[in-house]
Structure 1
Amino acid sequence: MGKILTLLFFILISNSIISSAQDCNTYTFTNNAIFTTCVTLPVQNSHLHWNYHPTNGTVDVAFRHTGVSASDWVAWALNVDGAGMVGAQALVALPDTNGSVQAYTSAVTGYGTTLQRSALSFDVPVIRAERDGNGDVIIYGTLVLPGGRTSFNHVWQMGPVSNGAPGAHAMGSENRNSVGTVDFVTGQAGAGGGVGGSLLHRRNTHGVLNAVSWGVMMPMGAMVARYLKVFKVANPAWFYIHVTCQVIAYGVGVAGWATGLKLGSDSEALKYTTHRNIGITLFVFGTLQVFALLLRPKPDHKYRIYWNVYHTSIGYAVISLSIANVFKGLDILDPEKKWKNAYLGVIITLGVIAAILEAFTWFVVLRRKNVEKEQVNGAYGANGYGRHNGHNSTA
């Protein structure tokens, strides 16, 4: 019985391997084209087929993206001098209104590209595209490989069509990881880092700066002011700790805000309106808080109560918007789930600590009021005030 189960297991595994191989190596092209080499790319249900011709340094390629919507564009590109999106020399397949697919070349020079038609840095004497009966889009091309090279970085993408032109693709993990290396001689293809290179690095930097400053340090600074100042022994240390924490958070937050502005200018095709508007509001509120610190009235000033209301209201608004915008940014970046869980854990921890300190603070304040009340009553009793027989006349 055990041998039979083992045999069935190996048959199942073999069938899976064969099925996977057939998806790449035994795919039947509509024009009966045959490609000697094929690799299944690691993400986005894509495959790359090719024939390399060493005599003239050319390669015939067929990039196949499976299950593509009739309203989506597809692109595959070599990056001759770099990695990622900028500098990519792309073959693009764009769906037409009549159901056909048109192919053209586009040299990507920036992150805000709309994949406009342009010549590449190497010759592409043949290019065409088609959609098969299964919904797969295939781009065929003959490339004259530059400089006698055969190994390159390459990228591939899919995105929606907007007003008849390629729109911005999504920024999910598969899109960011649609990059790798390919060697047309050895047939080896390796996975690479996230698409976008320096752009992704700046996006991550932007996220970390803002999560640490607005999302963690600001709430911690507010907790210092809320819970330490009730202890007389902490006065005025709590104030300087509070100011130091908030000023550092504001400085780091401004750096994160600036990287966000740069990202926006470099990626005009990508619009995250809500995230951007909240970020602008946070910068304005944070700046108002800095000016409020400079204009803070003395504790006994008649306008101090109004300043307190203003400062507290803006402060809590900043904290609420900060936490919401950090989660909004995490949804945009779409990192590994552990990072979102880590930030959620930090916020929950701060919330639990705040709840405990809130209860303890009220206990201290109420107890102090009772002690002060008892002391006042004791003082009245010791001096004879408030008693019916405390004002007896000797006259």
Structure 2
Amino acid sequence: MASIRKSVLLFLTFLTVIIIPATPQPCNSYKFPNNFNYAACEDLPVLESSLHWKYHPSSGAVDVAFNKANVKGSSWVAWAINPTSKGMLGSQAFVAVYKQDGSIKAYTSPITSYATMLQEGNLTFPVYGVSASYTNGHVIIFASFQLPGNTTLVNHAWQEGLVSDDGTLRPHSFSRANLQSFGTLDFLSGKVSETGGNSDSRITLRNVHGVLNTISWGVLMPIGVILARYLKAFDGLGPTWFQLHRACQSLAFLMGIAGFGTGLYIGNHYGIHNAPHRCVGITLLCLAITQVCLAVFLRPKKDHKYRMFWNIFHYIVGYSIIALAVWNVFKGFDILNAQNIWKKTYVGSIISLAIIAVVLEVITWIWVCKKKRVKEPENHVEIVIG
């Protein structure tokens, strides 16, 4: 009987370990390898991080230890203060780069551009020492520096990211936690506050940007092409196919411009950049503007000798837009760390459109072949498939 109770107890303990997630220990219980005791600490709200510090009122200097838990694989972590504003530009960062081989490097990096790669450089205030250590999944940045401007209240931010095999620091994720990793800190009073309203606006803009571009470039544009390609083969519809095609593409174009505008705003105001995604987005907008100008101002009549070349160019640009748009939508999902439900929903939409296109392709060719058989041999049947 005792053995049964013992087995049940072990089983329940095992379930508890699996079901209840492990939480980082409070900052005031963490023991540093150098046995140094800091006067104050704060568990930061995101990214499993904590900040420890000791302020020296007589000199205005401060000793800081930034502790990032659960670091796995080659990664970089950074903690920064911004003496001039709450944004990314102007931040003065302390960076630690940990590699899989066990090596770790600490240095300072002034952030002067949104395209920063966290290059090593001097900060705008005196730094008396910076080092880093890795212990049991914790990367800790130790720093001693002079507080700028004779003030104890600073804006601070912290981040994490991965390191490529060639040693290049990859951009941090744009997940909700990464967009909320900033706030204000008073080294004298110990008061730490979050700037949640600003991060919420960034997250809202990020979501609006994603929804607008996914629906416009990734869904409406392919639908517009399907309408033009298959409905025009049915004589009874008359100009209806063209009106539907124009309405669908116009709506997609306007929504795409709005999505592009939100992307520019996010990049300029919050420093969120991804070069491939941005370049493809700019290319898409340029191609779409070219399509609009050609369709509205430079479209020759059907019997014009250059109409065939216009059609070829129009088709090539149209299908290029669709291919680039689908790629950029998936790239956006990766950048934003979108939940799988959103990716699966979009994949389902694309597969559904592809199936519809295949079915309509078969129906169209059956319809065209049937028209050929019923018409007199001398009649010329012109088949235009967009």
Residue 32 of structure 1, CA deviation: 1.0
The superposition leaves residues 312-361 of structure 1 with CA deviations (integer Å, 9 ceiling, x where unpaired) of: 33322322222222223322332222222222122122222222322333
Query: CA 1:133 to 1:308, structure 2 compared with 1: closer, same or farther past 3 Å?
Result: closer
| Residue 228 of structure 1: aligned partner | 231
Residue 245 of structure 1, CA deviation: 2.0
- Is the CA contact (8 Å cut-off) linking 2:267 and 2:273 kept in structure 1? yes
Whole-angstrom CA distance in 1 between matches of 2:226 and 2:345: 20
| Residue 298 of structure 2: aligned partner | 295
User: What is the DSSP-based 3-state SS (H/G/I as helix, E as strand, rest coil) of the residue aligned with 1:219?
Assistant: helix
| Residue 308 of structure 1: aligned partner | 311
Whole-angstrom CA distance in 2 between matches of 1:207 and 1:348: 20
- Is the CA contact (8 Å cut-off) linking 2:81 and 2:154 kept in structure 1? no
Query: CA 1:10 to 1:266, structure 2 compared with 1: closer, same or farther past 3 Å?
Result: same
Do residues 119 (structure 1) and 124 (structure 2) align? yes
User: What is the DSSP-based 3-state SS (H/G/I as helix, E as strand, rest coil) of the residue aligned with 2:368?
Assistant: helix
Do residues 367 (structure 1) and 364 (structure 2) align? no
Identity percentage over the alignment? 38
Q: How do residues 318-333 of structure 1 correspond to structure 2 at under 5 angstroms?
A: 318-333=321-336
| Residue 386 of structure 1: aligned partner | none
Residue 89 of structure 1, CA deviation: 5.6
- Is the CA contact (8 Å cut-off) linking 2:228 and 2:241 kept in structure 1? yes
Uncovered stretches (5+) of structure 2, i.e. residues with no partner:
380-386
Report the count of equivalent residues.
366
Residue 109 of structure 1, CA deviation: 6.1
Query: CA 1:105 to 1:325, structure 2 compared with 1: closer, same or farther past 3 Å?
Result: closer
Whole-angstrom CA distance in 2 between matches of 1:52 and 1:13: 41
Do residues 245 (structure 1) and 248 (structure 2) align? yes
Whole-angstrom CA distance in 1 between matches of 2:311 and 2:18: 72
User: What is the DSSP-based 3-state SS (H/G/I as helix, E as strand, rest coil) of the residue aligned with 1:328?
Assistant: helix
Amino acid at match of 1:118: L
Amino acid at match of 2:369: L
Cα root mean square deviation, aligned: 5.1
- Is the CA contact (8 Å cut-off) linking 1:84 and 1:155 kept in structure 2? no
Do residues 286 (structure 1) and 291 (structure 2) align? no
| Residue 140 of structure 1: aligned partner | 142
- Is the CA contact (8 Å cut-off) linking 2:132 and 2:139 kept in structure 1? yes
- Is the CA contact (8 Å cut-off) linking 1:155 and 1:178 kept in structure 2? no
- Look at both structures and tell me which one has the larger radius of gyration over its CA atoms: 1
Q: How do residues 73-112 of structure 1 correspond to structure 2 at under 5 angstroms?
A: 73-77=76-80, 85-86=88-89, 88=91, 90-93=93-96, 101-104=105-108, 106=110, 108=111, 111-112=114-115
| Residue 132 of structure 2: aligned partner | 130
Uncovered stretches (5+) of structure 1, i.e. residues with no partner:
377-395
Amino acid at match of 1:179: S
Bigger mean CA offset, 131-140 vs 352-361: 131-140
Select 2:212's aligned residue among 197, 209, 214: 209
- Is the CA contact (8 Å cut-off) linking 1:79 and 1:155 kept in structure 2? no
Whole-angstrom CA distance in 1 between matches of 2:334 and 2:279: 16
| Residue 29 of structure 1: aligned partner | 32
Bigger mean CA offset, 168-177 vs 333-342: 168-177
Whole-angstrom CA distance in 2 between matches of 1:112 and 1:242: 39
Query: CA 1:11 to 1:239, structure 2 compared with 1: closer, same or farther past 3 Å?
Result: closer
Bigger mean CA offset, 2-11 vs 290-299: 2-11
User: What is the DSSP-based 3-state SS (H/G/I as helix, E as strand, rest coil) of the residue aligned with 1:30?
Assistant: coil
Residue 222 of structure 1, CA deviation: 1.2
